[in-house]
Amino acid sequence: MAQTASKNTADTRPRLLLMDGHSLAYRAFFALPAENFTTATGQPTNAIYGFASMLANTLRDESPTHFAVAFDVSRRTWRSEEFPEYKANRSKTPDEFKGQVELIGELLDAMHAQRFAVDGFEADDVIATLATQAEAEGFDVLIVTGDRDSFQLVTDHVTVLYPTKGVSELTRFTPEKIQEKYGLSPSQYPDFAALRGDPSDNLPGIPGVGEKTAAKWINQFGSFDQLVERADEVKGKAGQNFRDHLESVRLNRRLTEMVRDVELSKTVADLAREPYDRTAVALVLDTLEIRNPSLRERLLAVDPGSAEETAPPPAAGVELDASVLSAGELAPWLAEHGTEPLGVATVDSWALGTGNVSEVALAAAGGAAAWFDPSELDEADERAWAAWISDPGRPKVMHNAKGAMRVFPEHGWSVAGVTMDTALAAYLVKPGRRSFALDALSIEYLGRELAPAAASDGQLAFGADDTAEAEALMAQARAVLDLGGAFEERLGEVGARELLHEVELPTSALLARLERHGIAADREHLEAMEQQFAGAVQQAVKEAHASVGHEFNLGSPKQLQEVFFGELNLPKTKKTKTGYTTDADALAWLAGQTEHELPVIMLRHREQARLRSTVEGLIKTVAADGRIHTTFSQTVAATGRLSSTDPNLQNVPVRTDEGRAIRHGFVVGEGFEALMTADYSQIELRVMAHLSEDEGLIEAFTSGEDLHTTVASQVFGVERSAVDAEMRRKIKAMSYGLAYGLSAFGLAQQLTIDPAEARILMETYFERFGGVRDYLRRVVDEARATGYTETMLGRRRYLPDLNSDNRQRREAAERMALNAPIQGTAADIVKVAMLNVDRALTEAGLTSRMLLQVHDEIVLELAPGEREQVEALVREQMSGAAHLRAPLDVSVGVGRDWDSAAH
């Protein structure tokens, strides 16, 4: 934290740090964008994050012995009683800010920090009272606030730290600094403020009197009282204005004086810093999904109890009988402990052909734990380990088991018998979490703090240079084992045991094999595509420059704003903090509002740049075997859908010519004859028909006619033959929109129609399909009562914001409640289908194999001569994955590349 001067007090005096909670939280709120600091349930955390960051830095830099935070209770104070217009000009508190102060209070409570809020008084008055008392008792006092009225409190032993750059930089205001800046002493500052007025507090100033004149008068007459007494001596028009506004200035003076004798529940002595409840601190941060390791480290580093702590024990009452095993010692250890469930933790790195497991730790419930380096195993150890890890009858508890299942084959080991994956279990218990890191789960569910262990790939990271690091990994293994027990109980409470053991764990093992298989890539084709998109980007740049007559940076929002709204004077778009937006929606709107070609060129430029980036990413991930090995995740999407990274194959477009051209680059590999794609037709709508039991919608599916045409004919009251393309387009958008929680406003934007027309369309739709309307109402009402939604297989999504007072958060939760059961059920069906297809391939003794799952599509690689058998098997297993009232329909295609295999 930058400061303008060094500390000016002796280290022998106790030091009290006082913070103005509301002032600093509000500054943090506007310093950090809310869209970057929001939980999965829609709770903004930007003010909390900024406040916590400033708090950690200030505690670190100032090393106070005592600490407290003061908050405003409301705008009704003795000042507003005396002057009703006091702060009346301030705008309504943003909805995104509401509630964050209360959550800051929870963090302070977990830190055992004292906080004050007194009815009828402002935080300033509480701070003034504590500062006055503390100075009298021999303290040095530091006040962190964004209110300049606090300058009146400054003395040789009271310093104000005033934020001058967001929440990251504080300026130290001492008596000398105030004299330098204002030419006044601190005691004269409220006199000066009364004359100047304060627009932020709605305190009127004197016409024609600014800060320089106010300071000159106070210095000339010595004080406000003397100035008032000798008001007739003030010359000129400014003097007359002063006399004309004397009563309002006197009121200003009363209101700017801080109260120094507020009755408080605690004395200064009660403000001594205490050790944190570190478990509670971690729980608050986890609940708010604040995962930044730097912030956590800074907060914990200033815990007064941290200096007294040594390395944390594995858990209260848990002792490890830890063994660092040498060659020849693993086999007997497994013989003794390998029949009971063991927690497993590893340090590994993944790359096909070069993957490596450098460390393994095992832990048993009785306290026995072992660590070994796989490279040092002797032949007997190797046999014993390979047999144990592959034995389905030997229960293992792991965290992110898929990672081990993917890399262990590099050593010739297979993994079986995983009875619990604590990452997957945590996801099923609370799917809205943003992180499922082991250390956070250990604190939350076991009250146990682990040594830092998270590497960038989510695996545990230790160098095994000494016993301490080996013991740390064994503590990890024990935490995994104990978490497994804790989650078995939690899974039972949320009805998800069957979902874990029958769906998620088998899916994890299957995905590990898919990741190892990868899909062959035509590198030359992809490189040619990259060059094509690069050329299109450059062409768009030239056209954009030509359209305005000069060069400018198409990637600079500021320059785009100057060109669009300054030079071209195009219609203004939505106003943001940095000016008028030029995002994709704004460009599309401008393209429809004006005949100028630039918005269209910009849209094309961005699309081609995005496609180029996509292809560049694909090329970089082609491995030495000529295949792309994506990484699938089961814990990212709260609805249960799979996602992929490195590369993200869901980013590859499917409905555009460019997207299909990119898919030509995914090809059949050596030893196989073709790719096969199989996906569900309109699975979300079929699920919606099943859940709603709407007879009309079910009949539309079973009629054999085109769904959207059939539904459109019923909604618009015309024969199917009279349904035109526009009618069908509207109904298709409506049907899918309902499955995704789309509002009438959202539908209007999607169809580019008036919201009133969209509302009428929805009402007409619901008149015909009343079962859908009733279901959508019922699912939200039930979720509001229970706190969660549920899929057909029992996957829950918790939505506490359904009862929020914040309208935006409540409506967002309602949309989630509408789509979670539909999307989640579809996701569950796809996973069941994958497992069924994979099992059937194995039972049939076929060589063909599954490679990818993207959206609702499965991609397989066909061995020579197996096409017909595989197609029949895939259709049977996928269509039978769930029995819906609107039966599942499977489309299958075959080709030499991913696009050619489309159907």
d(CA 472, CA 334): 20
Instruction: Please tell me the predicted confidence (pLDDT) of residue 455.
Output: 39
CATH number at residue 551: 1.20.1060.10
61 falls within a domain: yes
105 falls within a domain: yes
Domain boundary among 745, 768, 791: 768
Instruction: Name residue, tokens 């964008």.
Output: 33
Instruction: Please tell me the predicted confidence (pLDDT) of residue 318.
Output: 67
Q: Do 397 and 366 belong to one domain?
A: yes
Instruction: Please tell me the predicted confidence (pLDDT) of residue 285.
Output: 87
How many structural domains is the chain composed of?
Answer: 4
Q: Do 429 and 542 belong to one domain?
A: no
Q: Do 83 and 130 belong to one domain?
A: yes
Phi, psi at 711, each rounded to 5°: -65, -40
Q: What is the pTM of this model?
A: 0.68
Evaluate whether 422 touches 429 at the Cβ level (below 8 Å).
no
CATH number at residue 490: 3.30.420.10
212 falls within a domain: no
Q: Do 118 and 264 belong to one domain?
A: yes
**Longest Cα–Cα distance in the chain:** 109
Residue type, 361: A
134 falls within a domain: yes
Instruction: Please tell me the predicted confidence (pLDDT) of residue 219.
Output: 74
Residues ≥6 apart with Cβ < 8 Å to 378: 327, 328
Instruction: Please tell me the predicted confidence (pLDDT) of residue 454.
Output: 35
d(CA 498, CA 791): 13
Q: Do 597 and 723 belong to one domain?
A: no
Evaluate whether 823 touches 793 at the Cβ level (below 8 Å).
no
Nearest-10 crossing angle of helices 422-429, 467-493:
40
653 falls within a domain: no
Residue type, 432: G
Nearest-10 crossing angle of helices 46-62, 293-301:
40
Evaluate whether 424 touches 634 at the Cβ level (below 8 Å).
yes
Q: Where are the beta strands (DSSP E) in 517-582?
A: 519-521, 575-576, 579-580
Residue type, 270: D
Q: Do 405 and 337 belong to one domain?
A: yes
Q: Do 578 and 479 belong to one domain?
A: no
d(CA 124, CA 259): 8
Domain boundary among 207, 240, 271: 271
Listed residue (247, 623, 283) closest to 449, CA to CA: 283
Phi, psi at 633, each rounded to 5°: -125, 135
Look up the domain containing 722 and give its range. 695-768
266 falls within a domain: yes
d(CA 849, CA 851): 6
Domain boundary among 574, 593, 628: 628
Q: Do 535 and 473 belong to one domain?
A: no
Phi, psi at 15, each rounded to 5°: -130, 125
Q: Do 406 and 541 belong to one domain?
A: no
Taking CA atoms, 746 is separated from 163, 304, 742, 751, 762, in Å, by 41, 51, 6, 9, 12
Strands 796-798 and 627-628: unpaired
Q: Do 524 and 507 belong to one domain?
A: no
d(CA 682, CA 677): 16
644 falls within a domain: no
Transcribe 42-75 into DSSP letters: S-B-HHHHHHHHHHHHHHHHH--SEEEEE----S
Phi, psi at 3, each rounded to 5°: -135, 155
Listed residue (617, 684, 604) closest to 650, CA to CA: 617
Residues ≥6 apart with Cβ < 8 Å to 14: 65, 66, 138, 139, 140
Q: Sort 257 into a burial class: Cβ within 10 Å, 0-12 / 13-18 / 19+.
A: middle
DSSP 501: I
Residues ≥6 apart with Cβ < 8 Å to 648: 617, 630
Nearest-10 crossing angle of helices 707-716, 755-768:
100
Instruction: Please tell me the predicted confidence (pLDDT) of residue 532.
Output: 95
Phi, psi at 660, each rounded to 5°: -65, -35
339 falls within a domain: yes
Taking CA atoms, 135 is separated from 31, 55, 64, 155, in Å, by 32, 22, 14, 9
Q: Which structure tokens are listed for 236?
A: 């000129």
Q: Do 395 and 528 belong to one domain?
A: no
Residue type, 539: Q
Residue type, 802: L
Which segments of the chain have a pLDDT < 50?
1-10, 307-317, 453-465
Q: What is the pLDDT of residues 154-172, one digit of tens each?
A: 999 999 999 876 556 788 9
Q: Do 476 and 528 belong to one domain?
A: no
Taking CA atoms, 702 is separated from 688, 689, 697, 771, in Å, by 14, 11, 9, 17
Instruction: Please tell me the predicted confidence (pLDDT) of residue 464.
Output: 40
Instruction: Please tell me the predicted confidence (pLDDT) of residue 87.
Output: 61
CA 790 vs. chain centroid, Å, equals: 22
Instruction: Please tell me the predicted confidence (pLDDT) of residue 166.
Output: 54
